Amino acid sequence: MIQKLREMAPGLMIVIIVAFVGGTIFLDWGMNVTGMSGSSAVGKINGKDISIEYFDRLVNMERMRMQEQGRDIPPQEYRMIPTRVWSQEVNRTLIEKAIKEMRLETSDREIFEYLRRNPLQGLDTASAFSTNGSFDTTKWVQWLSTPQTYTQYPFMRDVESQISGQVMPGMKLDVLLKAGVFVTPVEAAYEMSQRNDKVTFEYFKVSSRSFRGPDTTAITDRMVSDYYAANQKRFHQDEQTDLYFVKIPKLATPDDIALNRKSLEDTKKRIESGEMTFEEAAFESDDEGTAQRGGDLGWFGRGQMVAEFEAAAFAGSTGAITAPVKSMFGHHIIRVDERELDSAGAVTRVRARHILIKDHPSNETLDMLSSMADDLRRDIAAKGFAEAVKGTAAAVFDSTGLFKRGDNIPKAGYVSGAGVFAFGNRSKQGDVSDAFDSDDGFYIFGIKQKTKRGLQPLSAVRTQIMDALKDTLAVNEANVFAQQILEKVKSGTPMTEIQESSGDKLVAGLAEDAAGGAFLPNLGPASRAANVALRLNEGQTSGVLRERDGFSIVRVTKKGEPARFDPQNPQAKQAAEMAKMQGEQMAYMDWFSSLRNNSKIVSNVDRFYLD
């Protein structure tokens, strides 16, 4: 068997890499870099510098991992990779430090037992460990017990190190955290009642949003200044920038659309002539979700597709390819593979394939738009934004509002290079950027305003304060309205009459046989309304209840018999297990939150990875 494994060695190494690429084996190898002297640190975790060299390796590894998934990565998601990797590195470092401080050591016997019970992914299907087509534990244990294994296959030392340093300590930490979780009979009984007790009640829901309008006459300057003085901690922020911007959208011209349609007609002819199959042609479809499946959309019924597409698909003959069909997504050609008919012979469902060409602008159009952007940029530098855009009908002119370094640019999204322009050390008010080429258009930015790190002036946050005060006023008005509704409910006014007289500011309904933890339409999951209804008697009405987004009132119309709690009952045992699971999750979250809150973490990620 050892000889056979020697022959398989290159493949085994790949299996180990695949098995641990989602884990942290490579992170351990890379940790040696952290201690090296670097030009700068991407951040600090409890005083320990994380060098840019080490961190950049982690970022590049994550980018490679995502690219190997075989899908296009949206620019904004690609941009957020460093932030996500930093969060993962912080979590890993803090947990590793906690494990060391708790002295959660691992013996050689524990490593062996873990490997014995958990064959490495990929090796569990290798022929060297197979007998009659099934994994043979005896062969696996024999291989683990052979000293030559660890000299012939050095990667096994890394596997052991991973198990010893992280896997087993992590499992022991999990056991320790769970050991402190106990479920009392009262807690188990409550969980059981949440799952099994039922109540039918009328609900009256008042949303605060219904009272939030554009009118600001009730907000005085004194209210704004008082709010600013009382909430100054909220207005201490990092450096911020407000940008003017002009966008020239990348829109296809009528000639471009006609050219795309002609291209699809040519593809149809090539398929019908036998030059290629429909499935082969579909690999070039702009519908990434179906291209790799030969354009297969599966079965669908009426009402599941946009109208133009549905009409063509249901009218098409089996095996025939339609002429190009225009929809909001672009142009399609469709081939119906199968149809289902009802008893009257009408088509009810079809299985079809399609090829999509979106309405992309042509290269000539893109060159024209790029030149337009360059010309407009020169006009902006000479005349200013407002004057320059007057003569360019295709341009959209707006401003972003203040945003922080690393934020997605408001109203523009991700535009490569814009972050560097907005927060560069030399950028200043009045500067105008070059034209930036983005997926949806060409952008030109200008710095309208920059604020320094620290307490923002009242003028910069006035709009934000106005929004907060409008929310407060809306909540107050909603509460007054809910109190009026309560009086009508208590007087016995029928629900339908209350709803009709209240207009769109009230949502009323009947929740039948509802459990406290269930999701209820208009009330959401585990609502306060449902839980209060369970504690009321039949015929009783609640007071005004504060909900996440407003207020509610309940009137109980029918109360079921409460479930009897017997610790030996299967339902009671299930409820106790659920309560214990929730307690264990809470124990870990509390422990880790405390660990993170007591740590000193400084991140400079946004300064190194602006785009």
pLDDT value of residue 489? 95
pLDDT value of residue 70? 64
DSSP E strands in 73-162: the ranges are 130-131, 134-135
pLDDT at 19 over 90: no
Averaged over 424-443, what is the pLDDT?
91
pLDDT at 430 over 70: yes
Distance CA 211, CA 214 (A): 10
Two structure tokens written together for 366: 């893109």
Sign of CA dihedral 161, 164, 165, 167: positive
Distance CA 505, CA 207 (A): 7
Q: What share of the chain is helix, strand, coil (3-state, %, to 5)?
A: 50, 20, 30
pLDDT at 397 over 70: yes
* Burial category of 38 from C-beta neighbours within 10 Å (exposed 0-12, middle 13-18, buried 19 and up): middle
Neighbour-count burial for 42-69, b at 16+ CB within 10 Å, e otherwise: bbebeeebbbbbbbbbbbeeeeeeeeee
Distance CA 396, CA 226 (A): 38
Residue-wise pLDDT tens digits, 120-141: 887 878 888 889 888 999 999 9
In the numeric block, the tokens 């040519």 are attached to: 266
Sorted by where each begins, the domain ranges of the chain are: 2-179, 198-225+461-559, 239-251+363-452, 254-357
326 bridge partner residues: 331
Question: If phi over 0 gives left and psi between -120 and 50 gives alpha, with beta otherwise, what is residue 417?
Answer: left
Residue type, 405: R
How is domain 239-251+363-452 classified at the architecture level of CATH? Roll (3.10)
**Integer angstrom CA distances of residue 562 from 439, 537, 569:** 59, 12, 15
Sign of CA dihedral 406, 412, 416, 419: negative
Averaged over 262-284, what is the pLDDT?
94
Lowest model confidence (mean pLDDT) among 38-42, 214-218, 549-553:
38-42
Averaged over 351-365, what is the pLDDT?
94
The 3-class secondary structure across 279-312, one letter per residue, is HHHHCCCCCHHHHCCCCEEEEEECCCCCHHHHHH
pLDDT value of residue 11? 40
Q: Same topology for domains 198-225+461-559 and 254-357, yes or no? A: yes
pLDDT value of residue 14? 34
Distance CA 335, CA 354 (A): 6
Two structure tokens written together for 544: 């005004």
Averaged over 460-489, what is the pLDDT?
93
pLDDT value of residue 288? 85
Binning pLDDT at 50, 70 and 90, where does residue 65 land? confident
Quote the mean pLDDT of the chain: 87
* 80 or 400: which leads in pLDDT: 400
Output the CATH code of domain 254-357: 3.10.50.40
pLDDT value of residue 611? 63
Averaged over 45-73, what is the pLDDT?
85
Lowest model confidence (mean pLDDT) among 323-337, 445-459, 541-555:
445-459
pLDDT at 26 over 60: no
pLDDT value of residue 525? 86
Averaged over 541-549, what is the pLDDT?
93
**Integer angstrom CA distances of residue 312 from 91, 288, 297, 352:** 53, 21, 14, 11
Residue-wise pLDDT tens digits, 569-578: 888 888 888 8
Instruction: Collapse the DSSP code of 510 into the 3-class scheme (helix H, G, I; strand E, B; otherwise coil) and give the result.
Output: strand
Two structure tokens written together for 481: 């309205």
Q: Cα–chain-centroid distance for residue 91?
A: 19
Binning pLDDT at 50, 70 and 90, where does residue 29 land? very low
Q: Cα–chain-centroid distance for residue 477?
A: 34
Averaged over 336-358, what is the pLDDT?
93
* 216 or 551: which leads in pLDDT: 551
Whether the CB-CB separation of 242 and 449 falls below 8 Å is answered with yes
pLDDT at 21 over 80: no
pLDDT value of residue 610? 65
Q: Does domain 198-225+461-559 have CATH number 3.30.450?
A: no
* 66 or 369: which leads in pLDDT: 369
Distance CA 188, CA 294 (A): 53
Residue-wise pLDDT tens digits, 492-505: 999 999 999 998 89
Averaged over 73-88, what is the pLDDT?
85
* 530 or 5: which leads in pLDDT: 530
Residue-wise pLDDT tens digits, 512-540: 999 888 888 898 888 899 999 999 999 99
Pairing type for strands 347-357 and 240-249 reads unpaired
Averaged over 592-597, what is the pLDDT?
92
* 31 or 182: which leads in pLDDT: 182
pLDDT at 568 over 60: yes
**348 φ, ψ (degrees, to nearest 5):** -105, -35
Which percentage of the chain shows pLDDT scores above 70?
93
Averaged over 234-262, what is the pLDDT?
92
What is the value of pTM for the model shown? Answer: 0.57
Cβ neighbours for 321, distance < 8 A, ≥ 6 positions apart = 268, 271, 272, 278, 333, 334, 335
